[in-house]
């Protein structure tokens, strides 16, 4: 299997991971696919059809992720303490970082 077809196969497998909600495995596989693709360099002319298919699969992955994100946002908004919890996280980020080492000494 040529490397471009292997990328398409990996993306197709990632589409299945996304459909099953296996987010951690999807993140790992996607990171590896990006690494592999970056190492390949420019695609040859003969890979055009495979790259077009890869673009379709990537669009489907992006859509699935956007849908899942929207669903999670709705679920969080529906939680009774959701707004308070989110405000709590925001407040925690606003606290200035403590300096544990005195650089002036």
Neighbours of 34 (CB within 10 A): 11
In a domain, 85, yes or no: yes
CA distance 83 to 87: 6
Question: In 3-state terms, the chain is what percent helix, strand and coil (to 5)?
Answer: 80, 0, 20
pLDDT in tens, 28-68: 999 999 999 999 989 999 999 999 999 999 999 999 999 99
In a domain, 103, yes or no: no
From 23, 22, 13, 1, select the one nearest 57 (Cα to Cα).
13
In a domain, 49, yes or no: yes
- What's the number of domains the chain is made of? 1
Helix (H) and strand (E) counts for the chain? 4, 0
CA distance 53 to 61: 12
* Structural domain for 63, as ranges: 3-93
CA distance 55 to 15: 12
Structure confidence at residue 78 (pLDDT): 84
In a domain, 100, yes or no: no
In a domain, 98, yes or no: no
In a domain, 43, yes or no: yes
From 102, 43, 19, select the one nearest 6 (Cα to Cα).
43
pLDDT range class, residue 91, cuts 50, 70, 90: low
In a domain, 104, yes or no: no
Please give the mean pLDDT across all residues of the chain. Answer: 85
In a domain, 8, yes or no: yes
Structure confidence at residue 79 (pLDDT): 80
């Amino acid at each position: 299997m040529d490397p471009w077809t292997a990328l398409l196969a990996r993306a197709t497998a990632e589409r299945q991971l996304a459909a099953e909600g296996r987010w951690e495995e999807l993140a790992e596989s996607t990171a590896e696919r990006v690494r592999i693709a970056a190492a390949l360099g420019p695609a040859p002319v003969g890979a055009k059809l495979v790259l077009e298919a890869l673009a379709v699969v990537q669009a489907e992955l992006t859509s699935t992720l956007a849908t899942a994100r929207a669903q999670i946002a709705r679920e969080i908004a529906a939680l009774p303490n959701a707004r308070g919890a989110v405000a709590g996280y925001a407040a925690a980020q606003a606290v200035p970082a403590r300096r544990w080492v005195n650089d002036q000494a």
